[in-house]
């Protein structure tokens, strides 16, 4: 790391002690910034990097709620409004027991650059709670969401901060959150939340967007190497929204997904994952993927298995942060993997990223490859603002075009800064430059 950047990084570590995930995300970006400071010393003079690494606002609040038995529970809510240089804060809400300030800050920090890469007028933010919706009734989830929004509503708005869904927050949760916002604010402000149901302002393709966008990005990445997804064996970690629709798009583009996973284990189907069954198990019945094997007797499920040990051409980590280690990366490379693209946020450890880049395979970080979700959220905001509704095909074409532009921007930036084919460096610098230029133009704020 550049000497100036080492000093900046040390100060950030001191100011954010114990925030492991956030520090990891910052370090990954700062490793790319040496060539930028060399070419644009004004950014160092104006301390743009230090300012980007410090959230504009961090909100932590109590969320009391009552379960069906009448027992009172207290959870913690978060919203980190990281950077609004390009537009209102935009980023999802995550409901998961693992949620803490470090995770929300890392996600919000990543969101700054991801949103900038889309070329759309949206800043970066993130939020959530350590509440676990798994095993809770609809009424319990509703009561929690209403309590959560009772505090959050005062900090958001279509021109201020526009949350969406993330892990543990789907259409059900967004519906309850939007209803409570409307009730408290006395405004039908459609653009205050994205990921809504189609009957009240949601956008077609929003459910599929992150997974579809990932598929489009992989196809573009392979095309630069005179390859395509046609006939490629693929594996996808996770079995949630991103993973399911990544599997769907990869299959549409000619790939064959043979394995996916959930928090309990790994599912392998040599004939290719059957999407109809997977959707029934995960989206309708909300069961572990082991239930897939009841319908498809030939499929194998390994409790606690390692997805990354399965031979593949293309690997798509779509579950959670730091799920793919350096050891896993070495296994993938030894088994002939030619492309890795991240559907989750920071799913590969620094050791794994280093191996992928050194090997020369096509590797795309999440801030570029999974930007389709937030891009389509911004399209939903456009439709809400104009009181319009676009067709699935029209929105899907826009998504494909955005992902193609992101791919091209990353590739061109990597080339400009002396690292051809390095999507990680290209994504970091391209996103940073958009935000830094805007921050410089607005003065010291």
What pLDDT is recorded for position 354? 96
* Rounded mean pLDDT, 43-50: 95
Closest CA to 426 of 414, 434, 412, 415: 414
Active-site annotation holder among 4, 47, 105, 126:
126
End-to-end CA distance of the chain: 28
CB 191 within 8 A of CB 203: no
**Which long-range contacts does 268-272 make (Cβ < 8 Å, 24+ apart)?**
268/299, 268/300, 268/301, 268/302, 268/310, 269/296, 269/298, 269/299, 269/300, 270/298, 271/296, 271/298
Bridge partners for 274 per DSSP: none
Mean pLDDT of the region 351-357: 97
126 part of the active site: yes
pLDDT recorded at residue 21: 96
Residue 114 counted as an annotated binding residue: yes
Mean pLDDT within 296-320: 96
pLDDT at 161 over 80: yes
Residue appearing with tokens 């004004």 = 42
pLDDT for res 239: 94
Average pLDDT score over the chain: 96
pLDDT of residue 411: 97
**Average pLDDT over every residue of 95-119:** 97
CATH code of the region 209-369: 3.40.50.720
Backbone angles phi, psi at 381, to 5 degrees: -60, -40
If you average pLDDT over residues 386-393, what whole number do you get? 95
- Per-residue confidence (pLDDT) for residue 373, from 0 to 100: 95
Confidence of residue 89 (pLDDT cuts 50, 70, 90): very high
Q: Is the pLDDT of residue 1 over 90?
A: no
Structure confidence at residue 226 as a pLDDT band (50, 70, 90): very high
Q: Whats the size of the chain, residue-wise?
A: 445
> Is 377 annotated as belonging to a binding site?
yes
Q: Which residue has the tokens 């298995």?
A: 305
pTM, whole model, 2 decimals? 0.93
For domain 55-187, say whether CATH 3.50.50.60 is its number.
no
pLDDT in tens, 275-294: 999 999 998 998 999 999 99
pLDDT the model gives residue 220: 98
362, burial (CB in 10 Å: exposed 0-12, middle 13-18, buried 19+): buried
The answer to whether the annotation marks 241 as part of a ligand binding site is yes
For residue 49, count other CB atoms closer than 10 A to its CB. Answer: 23
- The answer to whether residue 2 scores a pLDDT higher than 80 is no
> For residue 24, what is the DSSP state?
H
On the question of a common fold for 55-187 and 209-369, the answer reads yes
Cα 3 from Cα 172, distance rounded (Å): 48
User: What per-residue confidence (pLDDT) applies to 286?
Assistant: 87
pLDDT band per the 50, 70, 90 thresholds, residue 385:
very high
In DSSP terms, which residues pair with 95 in a beta bridge?
129
Question: Which whole number is the average pLDDT over 23-37?
Answer: 95
Burial of 434 (0-12, 13-18, 19+ CB in 10 A): buried
Residue 410: per-residue pLDDT: 98
pLDDT, tens digit, for every residue of 320-348?
999 999 999 999 999 999 999 999 999 99
90 annotated to a ligand binding site: yes
The ranges assigned to domains in the chain are 1-54, 55-187, 209-369
What number of other Cβ atoms are within 10 A of residue 328's Cβ? Answer: 22
pLDDT at 93 over 90: yes
Model confidence pLDDT, tens digit, residues 260-279:
999 889 999 999 999 999 99
Position 234 scores a pLDDT of 98
| % of residues, the chain, pLDDT over 90 | 98
Q: What are phi and psi of 164, to 5 degrees?
A: -145, -165
Ligand-binding site membership of 280 (annotated): no
């Amino acid at each position: 790391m550049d000497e100036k950047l080492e000093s900046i990084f040390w100060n950030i570590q001191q100011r954010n002690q114990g925030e492991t995930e956030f520090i990891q995300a910052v370090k990954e970006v700062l490793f790319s910034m040496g060539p930028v400071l060399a070419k644009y010393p004004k950014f160092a003079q104006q301390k743009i990097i230090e300012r980007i690494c410090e959230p504009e606002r961090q909100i932590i609040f109590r969320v009391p709620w009552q379960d069906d038995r009448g027992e009172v529970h207290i959870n913690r809510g978060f919203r980190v409004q990281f950077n609004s240089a390009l537009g209102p804060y935009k980023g999802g809400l995550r409901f998961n027991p693992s949620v803490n300030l470090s995770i929300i800050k890392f996600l919000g920090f990543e969101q700054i650059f991801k949103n900038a890469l889309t070329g759309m007028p949206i800043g970066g933010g993130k939020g959530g709670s350590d509440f676990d919706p798994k095993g809770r009734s609809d009424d319990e989830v509703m009561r929690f969401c209403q309590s959560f929004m009772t505090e959050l509503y005062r900090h958001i708005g279509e021109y201020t901060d526009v949350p969406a869904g993330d892990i543990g927050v789907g259409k059900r949760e967004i519906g309850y959150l939007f209803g409570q916002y409307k009730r408290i604010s006395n405004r039908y402000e459609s653009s205050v939340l994205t990921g809504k149901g189609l009957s009240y302002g949601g956008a077609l393709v929003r459910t599929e967007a992150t997974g579809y966008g990932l598929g489009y990005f992989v196809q573009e990445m392979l095309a630069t190497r005179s390859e395509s997804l046609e006939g490629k064996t693929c594996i996808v970690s996770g079995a949630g929204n991103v993973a399911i629709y990544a599997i769907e798009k990869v299959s549409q583009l000619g790939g064959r997904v043979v394995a996916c996973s959930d928090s309990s284990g790994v599912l392998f189907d040599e004939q290719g994952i059957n999407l109809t069954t997977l959707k029934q198990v995960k989206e309708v019945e909300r069961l572990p993927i082991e239930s897939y094997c009841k319908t498809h007797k030939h499929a194998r499920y390994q409790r606690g298995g390692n997805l990354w040990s399965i031979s593949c051409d293309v690997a798509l980590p779509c579950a959670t942060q730091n799920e793919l280690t350096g050891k896993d990366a070495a296994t993938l490379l030894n088994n002939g993997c030619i492309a890795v693209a991240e559907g989750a946020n920071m799913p590969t450890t620094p050791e794994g990223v280093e191996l992928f880049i050194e090997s020369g395979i096509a590797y795309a970080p999440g801030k570029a490859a999974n930007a389709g979700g937030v891009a389509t959220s911004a399209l939903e905001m456009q439709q809400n603002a104009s009181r319009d509704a676009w067709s699935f095909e029209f929105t899907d074409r826009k998504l494909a075009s955005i992902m193609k532009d992101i791919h091209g921007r990353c590739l061109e930036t990597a080339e400009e800064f002396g690292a051809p084919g390095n999507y990680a460096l290209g994504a970091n610098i391209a996103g940073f430059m958009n935000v830094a230029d805007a921050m410089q133009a607005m003065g010291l704020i």
